Structure 1
Amino acid sequence: MLLETPVTLGVQLQPQHTPYPAIREAVARAEGMGVDILFNWDHFFPLSGDPDGMHFESWTELAAWAEQTERVQFGALVNCNSYRNPDLQADMARTIDHISAKGGETGRFIFGTGSGWFERDYTEYGYEFGTAGSRLDDLAAGLSRIEARWEVLNPAPTRRIPVLIGGAGEKKTLRIVARHADYWHSFVGPDDLPRKISIIEDWAARDGGDASRLVVSNEIARRSDEEVDALYDSGVRLFTLALRGPDFDWASVERWLRWRDERNAAGA
């Protein structure tokens, strides 16, 4: 049984092809509109458009968002485990968590992570690309180190930092999700989601995980209303919407915020 939670909307502001002042303005606008979570991504080069176009680094942005914002949760969709020592990642996450805590409240940082896949990031920045399997093994080992480091840092994180894991591989990724994740993010369609969720629950039962705390997340850009409704019926409760600047599509954000509110009102 998955965690039953209100519908939330996450907006991913892609850190590409957009001057930072426009990203800063977009962060403020999204928070003011009532978006629940803001995301960027953890790459070093654009993923679409001009491959050598303007691009900014993920964690530096997230620290700035922590200071800039007051209410919205935020994180990477997703961080790449390969680029930084796991204990360093834990320390960075804890620090951003504290920066984001305002007025005596707890922090708002979500630790979204994955095993990495964009080979250019690795080759041009001097990281070993390895294989999909070796990168997933590194992620599993890294998450255990991150969680252990959070237990001994001084000061400790302001809250139990939620972990979001992206990916849908059944033998390794979903096993890592079952063991470590509070959120599972994928692009899996509604027809296959129930089967994937059952695999997560099976891994949790075998490894002693707790799938009952899991919130299922999925991307809705370029999906029809019928597909998004079907994702909801399949258990998705965090819906993410990727936006590319500099001309961010705020009309789509308004539309999906209305849908979120209607869904939550109907389920109240």
Structure 2
Amino acid sequence: MTIRIGIQLHPQHADYRALREAVSTAEDLGADIAFNWDHFFPLYGDPDGKHFECWTMLGAWAEQTSRIEIGALVTCNSYRNPELLADMARTVDHISGGRLVLGIGSGWKQKDYDEYGYDFGTAGSRLDDLAESLPRIEARLAKLNPQPTRPIPVLVGGGGVKKTLPLVARHATIWHSFGDLDEFTRKSAILDGLCADAGRDPGEIERSVGVPDGDPAEVGPAFVDAGVGLFTVGVGGPDYDLTQLRSWLDWRNRL
């Protein structure tokens, strides 16, 4: 199994120049994918601190970089019409030469919704909206001219057994788990069963986690044995210290 290392650059508490330099450095170091996130305000630190929008940034990264994949971890389904999001994804796919990953989730940060005028609803209603949107995104991608340069990988984040994992089984090429090793292992087995129910090979879905605490050589192998293929380091502004990314890349390179 190929092991990939990603980085999530939190687009907060920093000038854009620092983000631009961080994604360039991550690419130069050998990271496989660079993520941002889709929020309108910082998730930690000063709640009204500096923050930048997700998809305009991905367009800039698409032009700036040449090898690394790019995407959101994750796009909030509530913030954009599904057909528009499909067109945005197709466009960034072309700008990047086929390096976009369409990460998507149902949304959760109420301040974003309240400040920008979206209906927050409930966790269940937001997941129902995501279930409605994913086929619409797929249908719109099939109609666009020009077509995407490749079948755009879809990453779905979350581990809800009743609604999220069935969506992963039907629509995703990457599943991002937010749990520890025991939870990941349990949910991954459930996902395998749901893939069988949906007529999909579970091996078609790459398993992804945020990096666990500790030395990669000590904590990484157990996750690899459990089926994880993508490990993502999270880094915040204003300085974007990439020390942990280097550590995980060094471990990956020694495998």
TM-score by length of 2: 0.96
Q: CA deviation at 1:210?
A: 3.7
Q: CA deviation at 1:229?
A: 2.5
Instruction: Report the counterpart of residue 237 of structure 1 in structure 2.
Output: 229
Match 2:118 to one of 127, 151, 158: 127
Q: Percent identity?
A: 58
Instruction: Report the counterpart of residue 61 of structure 1 in structure 2.
Output: 57
User: Quick one: distance in 2 between partners of 1:99 and 1:163?
Assistant: 18
Letter in 2 for 1:234: A
C-alpha contact 2:177 2:184 (8 A) present in aligned 1: no
SS at structure 2 position matched to 1:257 = helix
Q: Which range is displaced more, 92-101 or 210-219? A: 210-219
Alignment of 1:46-125 (within 5 A): 46-101=42-97, 107-125=98-116
Instruction: Report the counterpart of residue 129 of structure 2 in structure 1.
Output: 138
Task: Determine whether 1:14 maps to 2:10.
Answer: yes
Q: Which 5+ residue runs of structure 2 have no aligned equivalent?
A: none
Letter in 1 for 2:74: V
Instruction: Report the counterpart of residue 25 of structure 2 in structure 1.
Output: 29
Q: 1:132 to 1:223 in 2, by over 3 A?
A: farther
C-alpha contact 1:164 1:183 (8 A) present in aligned 2: yes
Task: Determine whether 1:41 maps to 2:46.
Answer: no
User: Quick one: distance in 2 between partners of 1:262 and 1:190?
Assistant: 22
Q: Which range is displaced more, 214-223 or 91-100? A: 214-223
SS at structure 1 position matched to 2:111 = helix
User: Quick one: distance in 2 between partners of 1:159 and 1:138?
Assistant: 26
SS at structure 1 position matched to 2:181 = coil
Q: CA deviation at 1:27?
A: 1.1
Match 2:184 to one of 182, 190, 193: 193
Alpha-carbon RMSD = 1.2
C-alpha contact 1:189 1:231 (8 A) present in aligned 2: no
Letter in 1 for 2:242: W
Q: Which 5+ residue runs of structure 1 have no aligned equivalent?
A: 102-106, 264-268
Instruction: Report the counterpart of residue 205 of structure 1 in structure 2.
Output: 196
Instruction: Report the counterpart of residue 227 of structure 1 in structure 2.
Output: 219
TM superposition outliers: structure 1 runs of 4+ over 4 Å: none
List per-residue Cα deviations over 1:54-97 (Å, max 9, x = no partner): 00000010000000000000100000000000000000000000
Matched length: 254
User: Quick one: distance in 1 between partners of 2:234 and 2:59?
Assistant: 20
Task: Determine whether 1:168 maps to 2:159.
Answer: yes
Q: CA deviation at 1:239?
A: 0.1
List per-residue Cα deviations over 1:120-177 (Å, max 9, x = no partner): 0001100000111111111111010001111110000000000000001011000000
Instruction: Report the counterpart of residue 257 of structure 1 in structure 2.
Output: 249
